[in-house]
Amino acid sequence: MGLPPAHGDAPKSRPRRRDVLGVAASVGSLLLAPGPARAQPVKVRLGTATPGGGFPVYGAAFVEFVRRFDPALEIEAINTRGSTENVPLLEAGTLDIALVQGEVVHEVLQGVGRAPADLRVLTAMYPTAGMFVVRADSPYRTIADLKGKPVAWGAGGSGLVILGRYAMDGLGLDAARDFQPIYLERAGDGPAMVLDGRAAALWGGGNGWPGFVAMANSKEGARFIAPDGGEIQRILAKYTFLKPVTQAAGSFVGQPAAIPSVGSWSFVLARPGLDETVAYRTVKALYAVQQAGNPPPQLAETTAANTVAVVPGREKLHPGVVRFYREIGLLT
C-alpha cells in the first residue's frame, strides 16, 4: 500500500546486457552453473500495486534483473490495488509472489485482526520512511498544521495508508477523522492534487517514491513534513514493530537535510505451497544481481544479508530461501 534507495527512479546507469551476462558468468558455479532446475521454464505471477506508486517500479526492476540471471524464470508483474489486495490474492493462489508493505506483513503474519496467514518471506525489499510532502510555498510545516486539511493518504489498497494510520494513531490522531482523507484510485494521481490545491499534502514514503519525485521535480517544488523527535518516540513507544527510518539527505530535489521518521521494511511474500525450487531460483538470481555489482537502485537493498537481519522471524522464510542461504553460508 509502497520502497529506500531510489526504488521509484529509473536506474541512472544500467549495465548493458552483454556486460551483465559477462559478469554473471564469473560469479561462480554455485550461482550460475546450469542445472536441471535452471533449465526448466517456470511462470510466476508477481503482484505489485497501482500505477504511479513505488511497487510497480520495483516490480519492473525485479522482473528484469531476475530474468537476466535466470531467463527460464518467467515472472509476470501484475498491477493490483496494493498490499491489502495482494495478501488475499496470495492466499487464494491467484498470485505466486507479491510485494507487501511492512505494516501489512506484520498484521497478516502475526494475525492482527485476522488469523495468521500461511505466507512465507522470499526477500526483504527496502525500508520506507513515512512522511508528508507539500508544495514548497505551502504554509504547512508540522503534522499539527495539517489537522483538518485534505490529505491524500494514497491508494486505497496501499500499505502506505496503513503506515499512515499507525503513525497518526501513535500521535493520538485519527487519519480518517482528524484530517479530510482522500484515498486515490491510482497512486500516481496524488501529486497533481497537491499541486493544484485539491489536497494540502500527500502521504508517502521511500527513496525515489514516484509521488515524492513528481512533487520535488515540479516547478512549484516540494517540502517534506515528518514526525519530530518527540513524536517519533511516541509512535515507536506505542507500535514497537515500527522502526526509526531516516530519509537520506539529497534523496529528492530540494531536500538538503536528512529526514528522520518511522517506518518498516517491505517484503516479497510467497503464496502457500510455492514450489521450493522456484523460491530457491528466485533468490539465487537476486543474489547474483548483487554479486555482479552495480544493481539497479530499486534492488540496492534487496540483499540476502538484509533479509536475514530484518525478517520477522526466521521461521517465516520460505524453505527454498533457507536452502539457498545455507548454501552461501548465511544460515547454518
68: number of Cβ within 10 Å: 17
Q: What pLDDT is attached to residue 157?
A: 82
Q: Write the pLDDT tens digit of every residue in 192-209.
A: 999 999 999 999 998 889
In the chain, the N- to C-terminal Cα span, in Å, equals 34
Identity of residue 54: G
Q: How confident is the model at residue 156 (pLDDT cuts 50, 70, 90)?
A: confident
Phi/psi of residue 243, nearest 5 degrees: -130, 155
Q: How far apart (Å, rounded) are the C-alpha atoms in residues 281 and 41?
A: 11
Asked if 86 and 95 touch (Cβ cutoff 8 Å), the reply is: yes
Q: Write the pLDDT tens digit of every residue in 298-320.
A: 999 999 999 999 999 999 999 99
Q: What pLDDT is attached to residue 11?
A: 35
Q: What pLDDT is attached to residue 186?
A: 87
pTM of the model: 0.82
Q: Residues 59-74: what's their mean pLDDT? A: 97
Q: Which residues neighbour 192 within 8 Å (Cβ) at sequence distance 6 or greater?
A: none
Average pLDDT, the chain: 89
Tell me the sheet residues that pair with 181: 151
Query: Does the pLDDT at position 38 exceed 90?
Result: no
Q: How confident is the model at residue 323 (pLDDT cuts 50, 70, 90)?
A: very high
Q: What is the DSSP letter of 267?
A: E
Query: Does the pLDDT at position 3 exceed 70?
Result: no
User: Higher-confidence residue: 305 or 52?
Assistant: 305
Q: Parallel, antiparallel, or unpaired: how do β-strands 180-184 and 243-247 relate? A: unpaired
